[in-house]
Structure 1
Amino acid sequence: MPLFAIPFPAIDPVLVQIGPFAIRWYALAYIVGIVLGWQLVRRLVQRPGWTIGPEAVDDLLFYVTLGIILGGRLGYVLFYNPGYYLRHPLEILSVWHGGMSFHGGLLGVITASVLFARSRRLPFLEIVDALAVVTPIGLFLGRIANFINGELWGRSSNVPWAVVFPNGGPEPRHPSQLYEAGLEGIVLLLVMLFFASRPYRPEQRGTLGGIFLIGYALARITVEFFREPDAQLGFLLGGITMGQLLSLPMLLAGIIAVLHGRHRSRRRLETAR
């Protein structure tokens, strides 16, 4: 072991266990992230310019939670391990064994938001903007939980802060979960709060969502250079990872959304003259 390698901290992935009932840090991260996001969105939509009321946000909570769980699980099954689950279809339901995909969860939340917007006749892009502001909270907590679980570790490294993970072999590795928590969580949350502090205008709907997509995609693509690819996938064509591949469409969609919002704002200014 290199002189400066850091042993993995002895943190039990199970926070509390009473008989067969156990609360894991990972599950707690999802619960706390959803609750904090819900409360922050309720405050956000009470500011001038937003047409979604706090009562609608309360009802949206169920849709979003379902989208996160179903989308995250199905995304992992389809993107990261389709062969295994094709042979063991009943394992798809075993979410307690782990295996969630952010990109799948994102698609699940978008689908849930579309259904909710149509049922309540609310602007879909405004719902997306509100959710985009608070999503980094869940990302931060989820990555911290990944670190506690000793999973999704980084590539081998000799940096002074490299960590020897229990299931990652004897070599020290980048704590890439913490890199993601910092970039996808803290940094991206500050960026989103900065742009959300500006007056919200209907012609700019979708811009906050676009900024989030750009920020997350850039953060994820960057961290993937330090993160160990999933064992069952390895590197894809050209040395790209699945996380980077899935983030490229996000980056493109985010750029289009931001440019479209700027175009609509410019048109409104020209019309007002």
Structure 2
Amino acid sequence: MNRIKRATLSIITTTSLGIGAAQAAVVIWDNDSSNNSWQTATNWDPDGVPAFNDDITIGNGDAVTHTPASDLQINGGGSLTISGGSSWTQTTTHWTQIVDGTMTLDNGTFTRSSGGNLVLAFNANDNGVINATNSSINLGGELWFGHNLVSNTGNQVAQVTLNNSTIDANGTVGIWFWDTDATDTSMSINVIGAGSTIEARVGRRNTGGSDNTVTWETLWNEGILQYNGGNDGSFSDHFITSGTAGTVGYTLTSIPEPSSAALLGLAGLALVMRYRRYGD
């Protein structure tokens, strides 16, 4: 009798802790069919086209093509990692929505070749994140932080972190920030160190109306654009721009911090002095 009770108690406790509950599957690209198509079931391990709440990895250097028949989402805490020189190209205008999940690019490339938008945090309470290191994001359409159907309802997180990476967005307004003054909404582009570039017209809409000629300096002053996770110093300490806000070719480039540049200058001066000394 006691054994039965202990067994029953063990089952109840395990269930209440969530142990054994369904979790996202880990799915790895292997391209067994050699056709580079996302939709081919045998190109994945285990076999089967992944769901977008899975943890998906493309890391063998292949150029993967995807022709979705409808908008697709990374949702339910799912993740997509593109690494090792791999690329993922979507060839239709259906949107990509990172609703509740993360896209990680590590020496990888994500391309939307036929327009359509990449949207972070589509609805209220969503959390959409992109982390890119030594990578490229190429958009025939636009990159949206938030979504216009969520007018000031708030509680969205839309974040991009760039480390020696590029974004090239060629839509009507390449990067669009929606409802930046909504309650508890967090939108940010965090640039780590020098060497990252963003080429895009920038716009936003909030309770003050719409503006498709937003400058990067304005976003820096508002804390949306960050350098190494913060806003220390001035905009010109960390970034330079070229082109004109609201036009094609408006580009942001991250540069070395002043202290780093000064140290490099001192090191160069010391080297010159050393050569002169030995030359004498």
TM-score by length of 2: 0.22
Q: Which has the larger radius of gyration?
A: 2
Please state which structure has a larger fraction of its residues in strand: 2
Please state which structure has a larger fraction of its residues in helix: 1
TM-score by length of 1: 0.22
